[in-house]
Amino acid sequence: MCRNCQSRRSSRSIVATLPRRRPACVMLYAEAVAFRGYLKEGRLLKLAEVQAEVPLVAVEEYLGGVLDFTGELLRYSIFRATERNIEAVQNCKDLVEGLMEAFMEFDMRNGQLRKKYDSLKYTLSKMENTLYELSLTASGLRKDIGREDDMVAHGTGED
């Protein structure tokens, strides 16, 4: 069911019959198709591949779906980080970094895509921080830092 349309009809009939809400529905569907593609193939699907499943998707809706997809990718990378899967988190970060570089080429004014692009910067930063945290825990430094901070806070550290 599309939460924007509150309908149980197939997604293709939803976007065809509700032109007023069409862009939001198509964007959500493009996001879902992109995420499923990433989970299956480990890459971002191209516009034509998404259009094969969602024929009505326009370029702007695809781009919006891709930008929303990065939020799902962030959640996925955090999940993989809890499993200490550094390679999966790195792959997610590399894809988001590539998207960041590609979207920097666009001239986005104050619109819906601009807001979504701004969240992309946050997503990339969060993934970089996650990788940094994983590197600290992998090297054992995180435990040492915590102990040192506890010692200073409780007045047992040497000055």
Q: What is the pLDDT, as a whole number, of residue 17?
A: 52
Q: What is the pLDDT, as a whole number, of residue 20?
A: 52
In order along its 159 residues, the chain shows pLDDT tens digits of 455 555 444 555 544 554 555 778 889 999 999 999 999 999 999 999 999 998 889 999 999 999 999 999 999 999 999 999 999 999 999 999 999 999 988 887 777 888 888 899 999 999 999 999 999 887 776 554 444 554 455 555 554
Which tokens sit at 79?
Answer: 């999940």
Please give the tally of structural domains in the chain: 1
Cα–Cα distance between 16 and 133 in angstroms, integer? Answer: 46
4 is a domain residue: no
Q: What is the pLDDT, as a whole number, of residue 159?
A: 45
117 is a domain residue: yes
5 is a domain residue: no
2 is a domain residue: no
**How large is the angle between the packed helices 86-103 and 112-139, nearest 10 degrees?**
150
3-state secondary structure of 154: coil
Which tokens sit at 62?
Answer: 């695809």
159 is a domain residue: no
Q: What is the CATH number of the domain that holds 107?
A: 1.20.58.2140
Structural domain including 66 reads: 11-153
Which tokens sit at 116?
Answer: 């979504």
The size of the chain, in residues, is: 159
Query: Percentages helix, strand, coil for the chain, rounded to the nearest 5?
Result: 75, 0, 25
Q: What is the pLDDT, as a whole number, of residue 128?
A: 96
Burial of 119 (0-12, 13-18, 19+ CB in 10 A): middle
C-beta contacts of 129-136 below 8 A and 24+ residues apart: 130/77, 130/78, 130/81, 130/89, 130/93, 131/86, 131/89, 131/90, 131/93, 133/81, 134/81, 134/84, 134/86, 134/89, 135/86
**pTM for the model:** 0.73
Q: What is the pLDDT, as a whole number, of residue 143?
A: 52
